[in-house]
Amino acid sequence: MAQGRVKWFSQSKFYGFIVPDDHGDDMFFHGGNVMGGTDWVEPDVRVSFITGKSRDGRSRAEEVTPLT
């Protein structure tokens, strides 16, 4: 699993971006791909995730989980 930190997340739009530790492009993620609900999602929270593909073929983060 990849790791990074939440760059930002909008509760009203229900999506956000992660800055990966490998310094690649920011990863889009949808609130539906956050494990355990989105109450904990805030900027700079460290997370793990897997890289998946959206319907249009772009990369996105899935199974976004906070690191403890």
Residue 24 has pLDDT above 90, yes or no: no
The pLDDT value given to residue 2 = 96
Of all residues in the chain, the percent with pLDDT exceeding 70 is: 100
pLDDT per residue over 30-63, tens digit each?
A: 999 999 999 999 999 999 999 999 889 899 999 9
3 state DSSP class of 18? strand
List the beta strands (DSSP E) in 1-68.
2-10, 15-20, 27-30, 46-53, 59-66
All structural domains of the chain, each given as residue ranges with its CATH number in brackets, are 2-66 (2.40.50.140)
The pLDDT value given to residue 68 = 76
Average pLDDT over every residue of 13-25: 94
* pTM for this predicted structure: 0.90
